[in-house]
Amino acid sequence: MRREVGEGKIMGHCKVIEDMLDEVRYNAKCEMALNMLKITNLSFADIAEVTELTVDEVEKISKDVNKEKIYI
């Protein structure tokens, strides 16, 4: 199999882009959980199920509801 020049770089860039997309998706889930905590009375387990976060992550977000930044 012949390898094109720069093929490794392209594959490396794909990994970087995929990692960035994963981070964006995770941040969107955290934002959704934060909004749900603010406007609903759902349990941590229910919010975790909807957002696909863990219950521990939702609990951490709930502690930071009144803060501007969330650190997980």
Q: What percent of the chain has pLDDT over 70?
A: 75
What is the rounded CA–CA span in Å between residue 52 and residue 46? 10
| For residues 57-63, average pLDDT | 95
Q: What is the pLDDT of residues 12-35, one digit of tens each?
A: 788 899 999 999 999 999 999 999
What is the rounded CA–CA span in Å between residue 38 and residue 13? 38
Half-sphere CA count of 72, side-chain side, radius 13 A? 20
pLDDT at 70: 53
**Which one is predicted more confidently, 4 or 50?**
50
pLDDT at 59: 95
